Structure 1
Amino acid sequence: MNNLKRILLIITVLMAAVMELIDTTIVNVALSHMSGNLGATLEDTTWVVTAYAIANVIIIPMTSFLTAIFGRRKYYIGSIIVFVVCSIMCGGAPDIWTLVAFRFLQGLGGGALLSVSQAVIFELFPKEKQGVASAIFGIGVFIGPTIGPTMGGLIIDNYNWPLIFYINIPIGIAAAVSCYFLLTEPLIKPKINKVDWLGIILLAIGIGSLQTVLERGQTEDWFATGYIIVLTVTAIVALTAFILWELHVPHPVVNLRVFKSRSLSIAAILTFITGIGMFTSVFITPVLAQRLLGFTPTETGLMLLPSAVIAIFALIASGRLMAKGVSPILIVVLGFICFIYFNWSMSGINFGISARAISINLIFRATAMAFLTVPLTLLAVSSLAPADIPQGASLNNMMRQLGGAFGISAVNTYYAQRIAVHRTDLLTHINPYNPQAVERLNSLTSYFQQKGSNIMEARMKGIGVLEHTISTQSSMLSYIDCYYFVGLLFVITLPLLLFVKTKKNPAAAKMVISDH
């Protein structure tokens, strides 16, 4: 392949990967608009985010199988086509559950774009320039999720929310056409093993059932609802069967035997928590900014933009530190501290906080994300045999996506519980024996009387204002609790690093570079 074709192919696959990553976050600033336009609750609308993440989790461990069966070129181009077609269907969805269904299918198509793009880029660079390939792909990985909310905000403020899906059409078509002429099969074709269809089915059923329980449990009063009980039992049975089957079958879709490594097990837990922090923070913050602080989607997106730039520099710094021999454990500790500080800072917000202040807090989140992505993967595979490194790295990446999907569901549930608690607590102060409450109601009643309302109408309007105040205060306190909750998870799990014993593994380091 000549130099021009090589450059065009690199741009093409990087463009496809960034497109997929942008779609993980571009909808976050549009959730309120989708909710109102489709007549759905915010809790139901969050399925637009979680369905995509769950689909990614399911498809990622299957990518090597599907690539071997269909061939890299056919599978990659087919995935782009699925992604584009489902993007069109998402934009034209008439109701929330149609949108969620096509969003799930879009995630299945998008799952291949990231992992296959990685392989193609690193295959196009000689071994001595793998560091350049790592930097190119790493920057793309960080640009995608961080500019997604900014793009979404600009689109929502100036156009309609379906455009956040329709913009994938020209990009996807260009990528598919380019790959048709430029993409070839890998130099070393993957070995085709028997596909572990039962493992795939059990994984999909187990994760899907558990996700539904987490997402709908609070709304349906948990085990007071029949289908929640059924899905809970289904999740337990399917995931237990999945674990037992994967430990037994010769060619598992997910080789769980590698979890015998203490380093991998601990890194997987930390990566799961990292996924919770990464995805919940970029989900909660835009919703809070728009619903409670009155920011426009564009203001919300621009608020998130500076952290995207910082993340790139932090990623480069992380790579240089490891290149100089700094332990990945130390870098992970720094990343966790940054995430803890971010959540602690956000738990102190109030209605008067500025976009600039939140933007500064988000810089710590971006730094944490950059400091955790590659070092945690290196930590995960540091003690594995060379043959087990690809599976270990894949499992670790899957845990990040799984953490994000579960984290959003858990935070939604926790938010709903806390808002009920805070509402009840605040209502206890609204009574005839509280002089401040009485004075506030009388003041509001007098105000509305001056606007032309009679005494009864004015009093009812005053009560309505108090009700709105209680609701917004309850929401703010609940979001603060969510930041506390996520920050506490980081504090609790950080000491696990004390039990990790690292040893230099050149094969592992090379594989991690190739994966990131």
Structure 2
Amino acid sequence: MSTAPAAPSAPPPLKGGQLVLATIAVALATFMNVLDSSIANVAIPTISGNLGVSVDEGTWVVTVFAAANAVSIPLTGWLTQRIGQIKLFVGAILLFVISSWLCGLAPTLPVLLAARVLQGAVAGPLIPLSQAILLGSYPKEKASMALSLWAMTAVVGPIAGPALGGWITDSYSWSWIFYINIPVGLFAASVTWFIYRKRESATRKAPIDTVGLALLIAWVASLQIMLDKGRDLDWFSSPLIVWLGIIALIAFALFVVWELTDANPVVDLRLFAGRNFFGGTVAISVAYGVFFGNLVLLPQWMQQYLNYRSVDAGLVTAPLGIFAVILAPVMGRVLPRTDARVVATMAFIGFAIVFFMRSNYVIEIDTWHLVLPTLLQGIPMALFFVPLTSIILSGLAPSKIPAAAGLSNFARVFCGAVGTSLAGNAWTDRIALHHERLTEQANANNPAFMQSLQASQSALNVSEAQARGLFDFTVNTQAAMMGLNDIFFASAVIFILIIPLIWITKRAKGGGGGAAAGAH
């Protein structure tokens, strides 16, 4: 992308109906990608049951996609130089369609995971290129609006995913959560090619950092497997987990050294020397990891402990999109006249309030009190992506923006995968802790417990074994609720603690729109 024609000879912005149709096509490709990062969330119990595996193993369907996606994102710049921006974008969409078809056909979990790895890998270029293509389609003075439209699709995908996934899983089959990508992808690819085929970027045979790429894959894969399997294998008491940890640590250290010294690094880590890039990227990555980890846990809890159907669990999360969609275009107009740091801070405070509200959930909670925090969460979601993206890209030379967009997206998506694993592990640990505390007095030597058990037998006209079974069920449900509340409270605290990262950055001129526009 660094060899693309200079700005004066770049294709002019699109106009009228062509711009509208192009925006819809590019947005659909983005939507399809981010939708698949969350659409399987509510289907995990169903997929696990149908394929004969545990829910913990089923969660890999989400995490392997995110990990593969994160690894492939940094290759976008190199692939664009070799293939061309439009050919790469359209090709990635078509490969995504094929891999989605393979996911739907998968008869076993290993086959499904392999297809999800392929799907995540080919999806890598879609997010960075969709940003660049949209920014190149709009006039420079409307760069913030282009970013807002992109953010709207990036926000709505994870929101619509659980609702759509739940409805499809309950009404048809979990395979159709992947099959629906086929018509959407074919439409997006054909329209994009029709409009943009004559606006292709220049290409050249750029060198590839094979050592850096191999080290990247090694540490990301080792760390992700360690996090996903650690709990099942009792963490570092398992030789496999120990070796995975060692490989991840050594590969990461070598990766950092190599990328900082190589002439053509696959990931330009020198970008972290900039205050705005460092603060903005770390803030958006940690925040997304916390947000996405909770987005996976919430529908699982509703289905496993509140007996919600997949579709109902998805519908509870759907209101997240209402304010997010309404306010996203507004941000495009407001941000150029506002300090992006103030807006991002408001978003983080909003997230903290929402998670604190959720930390007070009880077993008897009704649907409205589940929906209300989700509805309100749409407000900070709308204030989240665009300001932080503006901060990350501000002050960078136009030639650096593609690499910066790729690296920041890599960090964000990878933290989403790590956040999912950490949230699941933390919830399981907190459930065990609360279960132990709740049952430490539940034994035959405690007269109060035995008296309560006898009262339950009499009231319900059941045997002692049945009464004990009911007690265990109640304790498990309560422990899960208390554990989830702990996760929610910790999430609220994290959002407050990362606010200073926003304020180590410099104010983005014009809300960052000018910098962003450099992606032309």
Fold match by TM threshold 0.5: yes
2:48/2:58 contact within 8 Å kept? yes
Is the alpha carbon distance of 1:313 and 1:175 closer, same or farther for their aligned partners in structure 2, counting shifts above 3 Å?
closer
Q: Deviations over 1:273-306 (max 9, x none)?
A: 1111221121111112222222222222222222
Q: Within 2, Cα distance between the matches of 1:327 and 1:4?
A: 33
Alignment counterpart, residue 433 of structure 2, candidates 409, 414, 421: 421
* 1:214 maps to 2:227: yes
Alignment counterpart, residue 472 of structure 1, candidates 469, 477, 482: 477
Report 1 or 2 for greater relative contact order, CA contacts < 8 Å, sequence distance ≥ 6: 2
Is the alpha carbon distance of 1:330 and 1:181 closer, same or farther for their aligned partners in structure 2, counting shifts above 3 Å?
closer
Q: Deviations over 1:434-488 (max 9, x none)?
A: 444223321343467x46xxxxxx2222222222222212211111111122222
Q: Deviations over 1:66-96 (max 9, x none)?
A: 1221233432333223212221221122222
Deviation of 1:269 (Å): 1.9
Other structure's SS at 1:350 match: coil
Q: Within 1, Cα distance between the matches of 2:202 and 2:510?
A: 25
1:73/1:183 contact within 8 Å kept? yes
Alignment counterpart, residue 83 of structure 1, candidates 96, 103, 106: 96
What amino acid is aligned across from residue 46 of structure 2 in structure 1? H
Q: How does 1:53-452 map onto structure 2 within 5 Å?
A: 53-184=66-197, 186=199, 188-189=201-202, 192-324=205-337, 326-446=338-458, 450=461
Is the alpha carbon distance of 1:391 and 1:71 closer, same or farther for their aligned partners in structure 2, counting shifts above 3 Å?
closer
2:394/2:509 contact within 8 Å kept? yes
Deviation of 1:4 (Å): 5.7
What amino acid is aligned across from residue 355 of structure 1 in structure 2? T
Deviation of 1:17 (Å): 1.8
What amino acid is aligned across from residue 125 of structure 1 in structure 2? Y
- Who is 2:514 aligned against? 510
1:55/1:105 contact within 8 Å kept? yes
Structure 1 unaligned blocks of 5 or more: 452-457
- Who is 1:490 aligned against? 495
Q: Within 2, Cα distance between the matches of 1:491 and 1:176?
A: 41
Q: Within 2, Cα distance between the matches of 1:515 and 1:50?
A: 30
- Who is 1:455 aligned against? none
Other structure's SS at 1:439 match: helix
What amino acid is aligned across from residue 510 of structure 1 in structure 2? G
Deviation of 1:189 (Å): 2.0
Q: Within 2, Cα distance between the matches of 1:258 and 1:181?
A: 35
Q: Within 1, Cα distance between the matches of 2:516 and 2:173?
A: 40
- Who is 2:6 aligned against? none
- Who is 1:15 aligned against? 28
Deviation of 1:22 (Å): 1.2
Is the alpha carbon distance of 1:16 and 1:392 closer, same or farther for their aligned partners in structure 2, counting shifts above 3 Å?
closer
Is the alpha carbon distance of 1:66 and 1:387 closer, same or farther for their aligned partners in structure 2, counting shifts above 3 Å?
closer
Deviation of 1:162 (Å): 1.0
Q: Within 2, Cα distance between the matches of 1:312 and 1:211?
A: 32
Q: Within 2, Cα distance between the matches of 1:330 and 1:499?
A: 12
Q: Within 1, Cα distance between the matches of 2:202 and 2:386?
A: 26
- Who is 1:454 aligned against? none
Deviation of 1:203 (Å): 0.7
What amino acid is aligned across from residue 423 of structure 1 in structure 2? H
Other structure's SS at 1:189 match: coil
Q: Within 2, Cα distance between the matches of 1:263 and 1:228?
A: 36
What amino acid is aligned across from residue 414 of structure 1 in structure 2? A
* 1:461 maps to 2:491: no
Q: Within 2, Cα distance between the matches of 1:484 and 1:132?
A: 34
Q: Deviations over 1:105-150 (max 9, x none)?
A: 1111222223223333333333344455334333222222211111
Other structure's SS at 2:362 match: coil
Is the alpha carbon distance of 1:78 and 1:499 closer, same or farther for their aligned partners in structure 2, counting shifts above 3 Å?
closer
Structure 2 unaligned blocks of 5 or more: 1-13
- The more displaced of 374-383 and 384-393 is 384-393
Corresponding pairs, count: 507
What amino acid is aligned across from residue 467 of structure 1 in structure 2? D
Q: Within 2, Cα distance between the matches of 1:58 and 1:30?
A: 25
Q: Within 2, Cα distance between the matches of 1:23 and 1:503?
A: 32
Is the alpha carbon distance of 1:137 and 1:514 closer, same or farther for their aligned partners in structure 2, counting shifts above 3 Å?
farther
Other structure's SS at 1:25 match: coil
Q: Within 2, Cα distance between the matches of 1:361 and 1:295?
A: 18
Q: Within 1, Cα distance between the matches of 2:448 and 2:330?
A: 54
Q: Within 2, Cα distance between the matches of 1:262 and 1:128?
A: 25
2:260/2:268 contact within 8 Å kept? yes
**What's the TM-score, normalizing by structure 2?**
0.91
Q: Within 2, Cα distance between the matches of 1:290 and 1:402?
A: 26
Is the alpha carbon distance of 1:30 and 1:503 closer, same or farther for their aligned partners in structure 2, counting shifts above 3 Å?
closer
1:383/1:505 contact within 8 Å kept? no
% same residue: 32
Q: Within 2, Cα distance between the matches of 1:407 and 1:274?
A: 9
Q: Within 2, Cα distance between the matches of 1:515 and 1:269?
A: 21
Q: Deviations over 1:394-439 (max 9, x none)?
A: 3222222122111111111111211221121111121234444223
Is the alpha carbon distance of 1:123 and 1:389 closer, same or farther for their aligned partners in structure 2, counting shifts above 3 Å?
closer
What amino acid is aligned across from residue 200 of structure 1 in structure 2? L
Is the alpha carbon distance of 1:120 and 1:319 closer, same or farther for their aligned partners in structure 2, counting shifts above 3 Å?
closer
Other structure's SS at 2:389 match: helix
Q: How does 1:10-49 map onto structure 2 within 5 Å?
A: 10-49=23-62
Is the alpha carbon distance of 1:509 and 1:166 closer, same or farther for their aligned partners in structure 2, counting shifts above 3 Å?
same
